[in-house]
A = this chain, B = another copy of it.
Amino acid sequence: MVCNMITVIKPGATQQQIDGLLNWFHARGLKTNVSEGEFQTVIGLIGDVGRVDVDLVKGLEIVDSVKRISDPFKRANRKFHPADTIVEISENVKIGGGNFQIIAGPCSVESEEQILTIAKSVKASGAGLLRGGAFKPRTSPYAFQGLHADGIELLEKAKAQTGLPIVTEIMNTLHLEMFKNVDIIQVGARNMQNFEMLKELGKSGKPILLKRGLANTLEELLMSAEYIMAEGNENVILCERGIRTFETYTRNTLDLSSVPVLKKLTHLPIIIDPSHAIGIAEHVKPMSLAAAACGADGLIIEVHNDPKNALCDGAQSLTPEEFGDLAKRVQAVREVVQS
Contacts and interface: CB of A to CB of B under 8 A. Distances in A.
A218 B141 CA distance: 16
A3 B36 CA distance: 12
B6 A11 contact: no
Q: Report the contact-size class of chain A (Cβ under 8 Å from the partner).
A: 35 or more
Q: Number of copies of this chain in the oligomer?
A: 4
A160 interface: no
A22 interface: no
Contacts of A137: 193, 195
Interface string A298-315: 000000000111111111
A56 B315 contact: yes
> Chain A: interface secondary structure?
mixed
Nearest to A36: B35
Contacts of A265: 249
Contact of A279 (B55, B289, B315): B55
A257 B257 contact: no
A255 interface: yes
Interface in A278-336: 278-283, 286-287, 289-295, 307-316, 329, 332-333, 335-336
B42 A38 contact: no
Which of A11, A44, A329 has its CB near the most chain B CB atoms (within 10 A)? Answer: A44
Interface of A: 1-3, 6, 8, 11, 24, 33-42, 44, 46, 48, 50-51, 53, 55-56, 58-60, 64-65, 67, 69, 72, 74, 137-144, 171-172, 174, 190-191, 193-196, 199, 214-220, 223, 226-227, 230, 243-251, 253-261, 264-265, 277-283, 286-287, 289-295, 307-316, 329, 332-333, 335-337, 339
